[in-house]
Amino acid sequence: MMIALPLFLVACKDKAQTPDNSAIQAEVQQYLDSYNTEYQKLATAAAEGQWVLNTHIVKGDSTASKNAAISDEAYAKFTGSKVNIETAQKYMAEKEKLTAIQVKQLEYILYLAGNNPETAGEIVKKRIDATNAQTEKLFGFAFTLNGKPTTPNALDEILRSSNDMNQRLAAWNSSKEVGKDLKDGLANLQALRNQSVTPLGYKDFFAYMASEYGMSSEEMLELTHSMINDVWPLYRELHTWARYELADKYKQSVPEYLPAHWLPNRWGQDWTALVNVEGMDIDPELKKQNAEWVVKKGEEFWMSLGFPALPASFYEKSSLYPAPPGADYSKNNHASAWHMNLDQDVRSLMSVEPNTEWWSTVLHELGHIYYYMSYSNPDVPYILRTGANRGYHEAFGTMIGLASLQKPLLENQGLIPAGTKSDETMKLLSEALDYIVHIPWGSGVMTEFEYALYAQNLTEDQYNAKWWELVKKYQGIVPPTTRGEEYCDAATKTHINDDPASYYDYSISNVLLFQFHDYIAKNILKQDPHATNYWGSKETGDFLRKVMTPGATVDWREHLKASIGSDMSAKPMLDYFMPLMDYLKQQNQGRTYTLPEKPTF
């Protein structure tokens, strides 16, 4: 009794001191429920306006742009309203009394308000109008080649396959013409985006976007620099290899840096077309099919993992194929996935053709779609129906893109014959020319250009000079001829215009995807990460659903560690490509390296 009594008294005392927060939590929940209902309504209307603007662009007709502006402004007015800002700030002052998911929502309400604060006044409306006008100019641009109409897909095909240097140069130059029309618009958006976010205390638009990761601009740059550092030794080998291989292919002298028009991609971000992996060419089989078959096969892949069929509305409302020849409209030619009503209205905007690139892209975009569908559940409030961080979305999409081109899966689906002999080193090289090459581009060129644009207020008369300075520094690429300030080659990249200051998401996703892929291969499939077959693995589907379902209700770092037992790390990616280093060093023996041994920042 002498011991039990004091313990009993302590227990009673602790219980008596436990605060009852039910009243404040109920009050906050009532506000959040009301906010979420209105948020879904306005976000849906804004998505519908943007959908029309991106899928049906009629030159000279500003109706879609005006309609999109109306819904965008209503969304901005609500998310940035003084009432919502003050209410969220008031409740955040008592966050220790609230549930974790309530705090998450309030934080995100304030984050959204940071981009559209009522205190910015007319600036937000001007920014919305300027963004929509830029979108129309970008995707309504009439590309020509040698005086005749052409399409971005056709220009890309020339850069992937032609050995005619004059044709390559003409196609590359044509792909950059749109930048001239976009330069003034970008300068306007640069100012408006910065002015939109400063009223709530953000230094600039770059800082605002980085804050969604819980990072400052400096911390984000430190992260992106670390990713470049990690892959640099391998990228340096790839760069040296490419200079010599392409010089031999085109019968030219070896250049000090790679001429941009020598590469198979308009921005030099993907060099996979430089190698043909014997036995792994699936184009012949795909060309026996039509574009619709590719999309249906992508859905079949996800269903084989145990995910549901796509909603009927996906096929009814998506824009999946190129605009027909002679159409009186154009469309955004960049593949994307859309979560229209933050529930089951999911759509994709693509221009699918039956080829290898679109096979992988379809499975990638459906990765986004199934992520949307997974976190569209009653446990996730509308405002948190997004990825655990922005990189998560790309990680899952791109991971499936990687898996979709591995030999066991292709054999399983009859896209290559069973028992196909292939050069595994060339397959690894092909993958490195995508995933490794992308890091200096995404973490270096794109990130640092937009940092200069927003954080350092890069002047319009320096846009092209800064762009090519970074392209040379990080990618080791130079333009075919001098590119003066009449051009704006940065603005030819979609994201600079309509998804600004967040391109490092793709680099983060590349690191994450190899972490998730490595975990799935070794712990679920029990397969070599270089040769997996996800198709039909319900256990893999269960794992993906578990990671996807919480949306943004979780802390992304904690969620990553809980899912795979590791913090974010490039080690699985470097391990994956380690066998390639010996091959490249052997190939590059006696060759001159022109990139420094270590990058400078």
Going by C-beta distance under 8 Å and a sequence separation of 6 or more, which residues neighbour residue 6? none
Domain ranges of the chain: 22-137+194-200, 283-435+505-569
Helices (H), ranges, 281-355 = 283-286, 291-304, 312-317
283-435+505-569 under CATH 1.10.10.60, yes or no: no
Query: How far apart (Å, rounded) are the C-alpha atoms in residues 235 and 584?
Result: 10
Residue type, 237: E
Query: How far apart (Å, rounded) are the C-alpha atoms in residues 473 and 601?
Result: 10
Going by C-beta distance under 8 Å and a sequence separation of 6 or more, which residues neighbour residue 571? none
Q: What are phi and psi of 503, to 5 degrees?
A: -70, -20
Query: How far apart (Å, rounded) are the C-alpha atoms in residues 144 and 167?
Result: 13
Query: How far apart (Å, rounded) are the C-alpha atoms in residues 112 and 371?
Result: 21
CA-based nearest residue to 350, from 322, 313, 308, 315? 322
How many helices (H) does the chain have, and how many strands (E)?
26, 6
The residues facing 467 across adjacent strands are: none
> Both tokens of residue 376?
């569209």
Q: What are phi and psi of 224, to 5 degrees?
A: -65, -35
Q: What are phi and psi of 328, to 5 degrees?
A: -85, 20
Going by C-beta distance under 8 Å and a sequence separation of 6 or more, which residues neighbour residue 27? none
Within 10 angstroms of residue 502's Cβ, the number of other Cβ atoms is 19
Query: How far apart (Å, rounded) are the C-alpha atoms in residues 506 and 389?
Result: 12
The reported pLDDT for the residue numbered 7 is 40
Do 230 and 438 form a contact (C-beta atoms < 8 A)?
A: no
Do 404 and 431 form a contact (C-beta atoms < 8 A)?
A: no
In which residue are the tokens 């990460």 written?
Answer: 529
> Both tokens of residue 571?
């080690």
Query: How far apart (Å, rounded) are the C-alpha atoms in residues 535 and 301?
Result: 6
Provide Rg for the chain, Cα atoms: 25
DSSP secondary-structure letter at 309?
Answer: P
The reported pLDDT for the residue numbered 17 is 66
Query: How far apart (Å, rounded) are the C-alpha atoms in residues 571 and 238?
Result: 19
Do 511 and 227 form a contact (C-beta atoms < 8 A)?
A: yes
Going by C-beta distance under 8 Å and a sequence separation of 6 or more, which residues neighbour residue 339? 47, 345, 346, 372, 376, 385
The reported pLDDT for the residue numbered 225 is 98
Classify 258 as helix, strand or coil: strand
Q: What angle (nearest 5°) sits at the alpha carbon of residue 221, between those of residues 215 and 227?
A: 110
From residue 97, give the alpha-carbon distance in Å to each of 92, 102, 107, 238, 381.
Answer: 9, 10, 15, 54, 19
Going by C-beta distance under 8 Å and a sequence separation of 6 or more, which residues neighbour residue 122? none
- Mean pLDDT of successive 10-residue stretches along the chain, which has 601 residues: 40 59 97 98 96 90 88 95 97 97 97 94 93 92 95 94 97 98 98 96 97 95 97 98 98 98 97 90 94 97 98 97 90 92 97 94 96 98 96 93 94 94 93 96 98 98 98 98 97 96 96 97 98 97 98 96 95 96 97 97 95
DSSP secondary-structure letter at 471?
Answer: I
> Both tokens of residue 168?
């390559």
Q: What is the pTM of this model?
A: 0.89
